[in-house]
Structure 1
Amino acid sequence: MTHHLLAARRGWFLSLLCTVALAAALATVSVGPDHDASATEPGHTHGATTGHHTSAHAISTSTTAASTAARSAFHDQMRKLWEDHVTWTRLAIVTFADGSGGFDATAARLLTNQVDIGDAIKPFYGEAAGDQLTTLLNGHIGIAVELLQAAKAGDSAAFEVARVRWYANSDEIADFLAAANPKYWPQDVMRTAMTAHLDQTLAEAAHELNGQYAASVADYDEIHHHILEMADVLSDGIIRTFPQRFHSR
């Protein structure tokens, strides 16, 4: 299986990450001069006006904090979804390789993750787009299982057929994302990201099936690092495209 693997790439994606520049647009109202002779007169409203200004400042600060919290929560949610993707993929590889009997349950949980990822984009791109992404990701998982089966059986011909289909499916996923958000998810970036993910996962599976467990663990570290970078690009792209969704109302 190892001779089918492409060299895994690491670090290239860091240069693609963008800092989300979503500053709050609300400005606080300046408080007038501290000294005002009329302020000492009974019943004068200067103190009340200052209180109004203070309240406006507090509201502005609260709104900014809420917006930042919403962006952070979405960023973390996207990371969690893609961490689940690579974690359950690894567990599927391990349970398949050792034949412990846990593969079916693990694979079922992995497929649930593909639904979760599709659901995450539905508020922004609609129900049909979310379902389409889930379908593409289900294909990604299904073909991966075929690769494992062919590799374990030593069927090189079946492995090669599945490998070609797997990388074609990877391009479909990348192209889907690029079409949804071409400004922040360019096609070449998405294709390179997905190809790297496949390269790394194949290396992980090859090492696990061949009993090279330390190498398989090291592969997972590479995969985990890369998928978090990819998740950040996805969340940043959505936040930049739909900034109004991350302001408090």
Structure 2
Amino acid sequence: MKNQEDLGNAIKPYYGEQAGIKLTELLREHILIAGKIVDAAKSGDEASVKKFNTEWYKNADDIAQFLSSANPNLPKKALQELLYMHLKLVADDLSARLNKDWDAVIKAFDEGFDHIIKKADTLTEGIIKQFPNKFSLFIQQLKGLGGS
């Protein structure tokens, strides 16, 4: 739960205290639902897996709505697509682990890692576009390194 708090705190300088608290709440809910899915899947309770999976996607929609309403550079549909892919990759990893398919676990982990970087880049780019003055020195340094 510390990661969720850290992410909420990271947006406070840009969006304020209440926004940081709200994001932390949404991300904590995300992790709690994931835990319920894992428990239900381990016990073979498919009805509960389906129920919690529906809640998980609703939570992803809530996160996408929250972030897109705070930043016009982060369209809700694009965020939903990123978050839905994240959920799929986590579910793939869980399924592979439950089936003891270690090659599939490695594949799911690698894909999930790449996707997390893509999500982080998308959010970072959106924040930089929204608050260019807060990042002007950073942008100048990137340009000096040959970045765009």
TM (norm. structure 2) is: 0.90
Counterpart Cα distance in 1 of 2:129 and 2:46: 45
Instruction: Could you tell me which runs of 5 or more consecutive residues in structure 2 were left unpaired when the two chains were aligned.
Output: 138-148
Is the partner of 2:100 in helix, strand or coil? Answer: coil
Name the counterpart of 1:231. 120
Matching of residue 146 in structure 1 with residue 46 in structure 2: no
Matching of residue 121 in structure 1 with residue 4 in structure 2: no
Is the partner of 2:30 in helix, strand or coil? Answer: helix
Counterpart Cα distance in 1 of 2:135 and 2:60: 30
Matching of residue 136 in structure 1 with residue 22 in structure 2: no
Q: Which amino acid aligns with 1:149?
A: D
Name the counterpart of 1:174. 64
Counterpart Cα distance in 2 of 1:235 and 1:163: 28
Counterpart Cα distance in 2 of 1:230 and 1:155: 31
Counterpart Cα distance in 2 of 1:162 and 1:206: 15
Name the counterpart of 1:217. 106
* Between structures 1 and 2, the one with greater helix share: 2
Instruction: Could you tell me which runs of 5 or more consecutive residues in structure 1 were left unpaired when the two chains were aligned.
Output: 1-110
Counterpart Cα distance in 2 of 1:230 and 1:193: 7
Relative contact order (alpha carbons < 8 A, sep ≥ 6): 1 or 2 greater? 1
Counterpart Cα distance in 1 of 2:58 and 2:112: 20
1:246 offset after TM fit, Å? 2.0
1:245 offset after TM fit, Å? 1.1
Matching of residue 201 in structure 1 with residue 90 in structure 2: yes
Is the partner of 1:150 in helix, strand or coil? Answer: helix
Matching of residue 185 in structure 1 with residue 74 in structure 2: yes
Task: Quote the sequence identity (%).
Answer: 42
Larger radius of gyration: 1
1:145 offset after TM fit, Å? 0.3
Task: From 158, 163, 170, give the equivalent of 2:48.
Answer: 158
RMSD after superposition: 0.9
Q: Which amino acid aligns with 2:12?
A: K
Q: Which amino acid aligns with 1:190?
A: L
Name the counterpart of 1:74. none
